[in-house]
Structure 1
Amino acid sequence: MRLDTITELLRIPGFKVTHMISSTESSIEFLLEQEEERASVCSGCGKVHNTAVHSVGRITVEDLPMSGRRVYLHVPKRKSMCLEDGSIRVEEHEWIRGRFTRRFVEQVYRLTSITTNKEAGWFLGIDDETVYRIDKEMLEELSLERIEKVKAPRHMSVDEVAWQKWHKYVTNVVDVEKRKVIWNHDGRGKTTLDKFYRKIGKEGCKRIKAVASDGAKGFLTSTKEHLKNALIVLDHFHVKKYLNEAVDAVRKEELRKARQQNQEDLSRILHCNKRFILMQNKVTNKQKDILDKLSTLNEKVYKAMLLKEQFLSLYVASNRRVAYANLRAWIGTAIRSGIASFVELGYKFFRKRHYVLNYFVCKITSAISEGINNKIKRFKRMAYGYRDVKYFLLKIHQHCGLLDPKLST
């Protein structure tokens, strides 16, 4: 192949291939030279200096593979004096990132968005530590232009996800309309969410109309402090979770009693492999028979299930006024039920009744956040966990936010 053809294939601005240094079954090496003399860009200050050349060296950078063989480019680099600090600095080429070309780095960034660093490294022939370094630097560079100046959303949801054991969490803020993570930070609670509100400023806070949350005290306190006019919506997916937990608490208590009293039929129904029947809203005929049998064997568990179903029917109310009447009735029934977990839940919903009812004013949920949390857990498992929380935050943006490579294609 002619050298000018290779130059055209490589498409490196301002450079041409002058020699093929070596060619083996696994790699090819090319020598590059500048097509025409031009002023160098200082790597120290980023400015163009027309000072005399101090010396010329060469570096070897890896480019994307060609015909299944790894490509190495030997590139000249001039050294000259920086007028800012008087030091001798090597020139900077826009298409080079460390010991790799810009397009090679971008390929690493694309691959790590769909697979693990180890698999991406195997595919490209580099170790996973190098992949980690390249990927992190690329994500940090992109984050400065895409997420550093975050724009306040109209509707947002906020939730936390564990990144390590021992209660180590990160908080994610999701734009409900864009369905993307727009901000995240290490930690959870009021102090963490305060950082987001301070980042977007008072004008940004005024733009937010509604916030969907799981009802955590820290998130509620921070939101009420910074967003004076925004609606806080207690997400009904989390409400359903609280109801399921209350039913499960009753199931466990009654299962323990049934085992102590040798009630085998009741024990089989309340066993953990049947607990999902108690959590479902729609059941098959076979599951319905099991629930009918449960109603005759244990009134307490069946009553807990009815309380759960009664609350969920609240969400079919036509407006806030009707929902408020239904909620008041349910809270009274739950408190009078004598079932400890539902008495506690009744008082909890009474304290947060305004947030529950706000759903009928602005029907947003944190379903997007929950879906994103599942996606985060998936790529975290694929990587066998993360030790660098800053890198983990960037990976969330890459998989679920504004650093997704597919957004730029």
Structure 2
Amino acid sequence: MSDGKACLPFWEGFHMVDLQVGADTVHITLEPDPASRLSCGSCERGDLPVHEFCRRRIRDLPMLGKAVLLQVTLRRVACPDCGARMEAVPWLERHARLTRRLADAASTLCARMATAHVAALFGLHWSTVRTLDQRRLTRTIEALPEAMPRRLAMDEFALYKGHRYASVVLDADTRRVLWIGEGRSRAAIRPFFQALGEAGCARIEAVAMDMNTAFDLEVRQHCPNARVIYDLFHVIAKYGREVISRVRVDAANRLHHDKPARRVVKRSHWLLLRNPASLKDHERVRLDDVLQANQSLLAVYVMKEQLKALWSAPTARAWRAAWKQWLAHAQESGIPALMHFAKCLRPYWRGIVSRVRWPMHTGQLEGINNKIKVIKRMAYGYRDSAYFFLKIKAAFPGNP
């Protein structure tokens, strides 16, 4: 304990009059310096009379592994403009129970650690740390330059278990996450276009997406000049689920009397779906054996490669010829799953041929979605979706 007064640079405008060191906590008593300038905490008007004194307990950064508790005497000033207001303190936010140093340290550390871990490190409640981090994220996002997107990419990612999704919109040129919202319906993504405004929507030239009808219809309604481009990965993935997997299951069922052959077909699932260039030598041998043993699987596998070639057509004329040929082969195959897929794909032809003029895809968003999963795993999930979305937007501010 010290009987004298000590003026330290940590607490500008105050004297330390008492220091008590406990086993886990350091208690410090601070009194205002009479020589310090007294100003209003709202309008910062100076040279004001004291209205009353009050005491407040404030947390500061730990010292030597011990928590620091400040017992501070604060003054309320009689401001002619604002009335009775708390004095302005450089190292303390208005109404705050934490010093600026502690608040900045906790919020900065949230960029690398989970909120719960930061709270445990500083001995704070997790909701307090979350509020501090939300303020930091909001300031970071508001400091970004105004977005003027011309090309967009739209996709969805799993938000919670039980088929709960969120939609994300990316500036395809700067890789900046522009907007995130819960759901994947038209109503869920409409707020983005409303916030973009009529002039912003008219500026959009192209939008890459999967074959999500809600995204498609909303883009066509709000962005009259935009061309929709369907992503190759999503179309081929849909083909794999609805055609190749169906034909493989049917082929395996027809081989119920030949168990070894049936086992080979059943185990060929990933061989049929993977990119041929990614297969190893022994996997190519297995794939060739499966395709030679079943004509239906061979047909849908070849048709998959022809479908992928549509996205690399050099001109619209070449695309149109390849498209008509693919549809004709699908109809002539006599395979129900393939014929049904071709019938469902036919209305989407404009979004596929647009790839010739706009070589876009949602691959950027797929990589971002993987990073989103990492952000989510760091916290073992978020209780507040708005906070989670702020974390994502701040993590992808875009390229300069």
2:263 to 262, 268, 277: 268
State the 1:390 CA deviation: 1.9
Q: Which residue of 2 aligns with 1:289?
A: 285
The one-letter amino acid paired with 2:232 is H
Work out the CA distance in 2 between the residues paired with 1:276 and 1:39. 71
Match of 1:393 in 2: 389
| Equivalent-residue separation in structure 2 for 1:75 and 1:178 (angstroms) | 48
Q: Which has the larger radius of gyration?
A: 2
1:38 aligns with 2:38: yes
Displacement after TM superposition at 1:51 (Å): 5.5
- Contact (CA 8 Å) 1:60, 1:72: kept in 2 or not? yes
Match of 2:102 in 1: 104
Match of 1:21 among 6, 12, 19: 19
Preserved CA contact (<8 Å) 1:150 1:183: no
Give yes or no for contact 1:161–1:171 (8 Å, CA) kept in 2: yes
Unaligned runs of 5+ in 2: none
Residue 279 (1) aligns with residue 279 (2): no
**Contact 1:4/1:16, CA 8 A, preserved across alignment:** no
Compared CA separation, residues 253 and 66, structure 1 to 2 (3 A): farther
- The 5-angstrom pairing of residues 200-279 of structure 1 reads 200-245=196-241, 246-258=243-255, 261-272=256-267, 274-279=268-273
1:84 Cα deviation after fit: 6.8
Q: Tell me, yes or no, if the aligned pair for 1:39 and 1:49 is still in contact at 8 Å.
A: yes
Residue 140 of structure 1: how far off its partner (Å): 4.4
The aligned runs of 1:360-371 (5 Å cut-off) are: 360-371=356-367
Contact map agreement 1:150 1:200 (CA 8 A) in 2: no
Whether contact under 8 Å (1:49, 1:83) holds in the other structure is no
Residue 306 of structure 2 aligns with which residue?
310
Query: Which whole-Å CA distance do the structure 1 matches of 2:246 and 2:388 have between them?
Result: 35
- TM-score of the two chains, using structure 1 as the length reference: 0.83
Q: Say yes or no: does 1:374 pair with 2:370.
A: yes
Hey, what's the Cα distance between the residues in 2 that align with 1:250 and 1:265?
Answer: 18
Aligned residues of 1:40 and 1:49 also touching (Cα < 8 A):
yes
Q: Distance in 2 between matches of 1:247 and 1:106?
A: 54
| Residue in structure 2 matched with residue 196 of structure 1 by the alignment | 192
**Contact 1:249–1:341 at 8 Å: present in 2 too?**
yes
- SS of 1:7 mapped into structure 2: coil
Q: Say whether residues 1:345 and 2:341 are aligned partners.
A: yes
Residue of structure 2 equivalent to 1:168: 164
Cα deviation, residue 227, structure 1: 0.9
Shift of 1:146: 4.2
Give the letter for the 1:123 counterpart: L
Q: Distance in 1 between matches of 2:323 and 2:90?
A: 62
Distance in 2 separating the partners of 1:308 and 1:214: 17
Report the count of equivalent residues. 390
The one-letter amino acid of 1:337's match is S
Residue 134 of structure 2 aligns to a residue whose secondary structure is: helix
Q: Percent identity?
A: 27
Deviation at 1:29, TM superposition (A): 4.1
Confirm or deny: 8 A CA contact 2:206 2:227 kept in the other structure. yes
CA contact 1:17–1:30 (8 Å) conserved in 2: no
| Secondary structure of the structure 2 residue equivalent to 1:77 | strand
Decide whether aligned partners of structure 1 residues 206 and 76 sit closer, same or farther in structure 2, where only a CA change above 3 A counts: farther
The superposition leaves residues 265-289 of structure 1 with CA deviations (integer Å, 9 ceiling, x where unpaired) of 33222335x4211111222221111
**C-alpha displacement at 1:219, in angstroms?**
0.8
Q: Provide the secondary structure at the position in 2 that maps to 1:65.
A: strand
Contact between 1:61 and 1:73, CA under 8 Å: does it hold in 2?
A: yes
Q: 1:50: Cα distance to partner?
A: 6.6
Q: Secondary structure at the match of 2:166?
A: strand
Q: CA RMSD in A?
A: 3.1
